[in-house]
Structure 1
Amino acid sequence: MSSPPLRKPSRWVQWTVVPLLILVPIFYVIISAEQSRDGGEQKQKQAAATTLTYLWPTKVQRRIYEVPIPARSRPVAYLETNNWAASSLYVQFTTSQGGLDTFLAQVGSSRAALRDGAVTVSRKQARTVRWAFDSGQHWAGVRLEQHGDKPDHDITVDLSSPDAPVVYVVSTMDFG
């Protein structure tokens, strides 16, 4: 027994389905190419940055450099620098007292470890991002050195406004 002949699809189906089968992949390719191009331009801008960018660092950057910025911190700014010997992430943010305590706990420190009057960010590091640690502010800082492939942290906090401490962090990974 032979099977019945296949029924030819109606004209409207041919005129609708066939163009869709062609156009949908074309639009997908165009949109993907545009997104890819935009992503590359954004990465180039970030790599070429020489001053702080007033955005949150990416989750990947925060994880690699172990800089857990507390929720509701504003404004947040960062700069990443790289060379053959080291990579550094410079981060500045304003937070609350609770946010400061949370941040310090997450990097393995506490408010008690902050040395009153200490600016632990070096002059060279400060010049890189144009931070000025003037003598009229209430500074406190701590340097956290870690072993192995973990980053070191230079943390300086401006406690002049107790309800809104400003945190300056330089997280450095040495390759030497």
Structure 2
Amino acid sequence: MLKRALAAVALSTLPSVLTVAPAQADPLPVFCAPATVVDNVCTARLTSVTADVINGTITGAPVGGGAPVTLAGQLDAYQKSTGFSAPLPDAIHQWDTNIDNVNSLSVDPSDPGWYGNAKSRVFMPRTLNDLAVQFPPDVLVVRFTPDDAAPGTFRLVSIQPTAP
């Protein structure tokens, strides 16, 4: 009798478990005017950023105003700097050097160091986010899109220090 009661409860709750709504991505922020959006990707220059090492995100406010946005992305979104004259500011020079160094790491399974190299590549965005906090104002250009997997966070398409 108890087994039947438990089975009935389990079957009655099953439809509510199966009908959980999928996560919905946040719409692009208001400051993403039509001129800055192509294929649902917004481009913005950020005044400055803060980094969250735990979550691997950065948060920054756009130049010209608007609500801050929280962004996260994989290493392939991180681009070397452009438009700066020599000598580069220290944090930007380190950004470029880190990208060069990690891109040269082999993740081929026949390489004895492949696992450590792969970890370096996976965690490099957190290191680069920490460097971005040190950039001069108004140099970080980001391209981002809504992210269904992480409501409240936008997915980086690219992030690049760019001279104003």
Q: Given the two structures, how large is their TM-score scaled by the length of structure 1?
A: 0.28
Q: TM-score, normalised by structure 2?
A: 0.29
